[in-house]
C-alpha cells in the first residue's frame, strides 16, 4: 500500500489547518482486502481523498497497465460543495469515479461519516471478491 499526502500551500481556513489527513487512519483499515491499494489525500486547493485499488496482482496486469486490471477508484470529499474538510461537520461524500468494465456491482454515491463510508467500500470490495 502506498500513501501520498499533498498539502503544499493549503491555507488555514478561519484558523482551521488541513484536516483531510486525519481520515487516512480510517481509510487504512481497507489495507489487505485487495492486492494493490493506494490512498492519497490533498488539502491544497480543496480537501479530497482518493482510494485506488486493484483486485489483481501487478504481475497479472496486461501490459503492466493499471487500467487493464480489475481496478477501482473512489473519491472522498467534504459534503455540500464545502471546499475543505471541517472536523465540526464530520460527514464526507464518496463516489466510485472509475472501475473496470469487468466489475459488475455499482456503488451508489452517498454522504456519511468516514467510518461508515469506509464500511460501505469494504462491503463493496468483499462482494466482488
- For residue 107, the enclosing domain spans 2-128
Q: What is the pLDDT of residue 98?
A: 94
Q: Across residues 11-19, what is the average pLDDT? A: 58
Nearest one of 53, 82, 83 to 67, comparing CA atoms: 53
Average pLDDT in the chain: 83
Edge to edge, what strands does the sheet with 71-77 contain?
2-6, 36-42, 48-54, 71-77, 91-99, 110-113
112 against 89, higher pLDDT:
112
What pLDDT digit, counting tens, does each position of 75-108 carry? 998 888 787 777 778 899 999 999 999 998 889 9
Q: What is the pLDDT of residue 8?
A: 47
Band (123; pLDDT cuts 50, 70, 90): very high
The CA-based dihedral angle spanning residues 86, 96, 28, 127, taken in that order and rounded to the nearest 10 degrees: 140
Instruction: Count the domains in the chain.
Output: 1
Q: Which cell is 65 given? A: 497497465
pTM of the predicted protein model = 0.82
Amino acid at each position: 500500500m502506498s500513501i501520498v499526502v499533498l498539502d503544499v500551500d493549503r491555507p488555514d481556513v478561519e484558523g482551521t489547518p488541513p484536516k483531510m489527513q486525519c481520515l487516512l487512519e480510517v481509510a487504512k483499515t481497507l489495507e489487505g482486502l485487495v492486492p494493490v491499494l493506494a490512498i492519497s489525500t490533498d488539502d491544497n486547493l480543496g480537501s479530497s481523498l482518493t482510494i485506488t485499488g486493484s483486485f489483481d496482482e501487478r504481475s497479472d496486469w496486461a501490459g503492466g497497465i493499471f487500467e487493464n486490471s480489475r481496478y477501482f477508484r473512489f473519491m472522498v470529499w467534504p459534503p455540500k460543495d464545502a471546499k475543505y474538510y471541517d472536523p465540526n461537520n464530520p460527514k464526507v461524500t464518496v463516489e466510485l469515479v472509475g472501475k473496470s468494465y469487468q466489475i459488475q456491482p455499482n456503488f451508489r454515491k452517498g454522504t456519511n461519516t468516514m467510518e461508515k463510508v469506509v464500511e460501505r467500500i469494504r462491503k463493496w470490495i468483499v462482494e466482488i471478491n
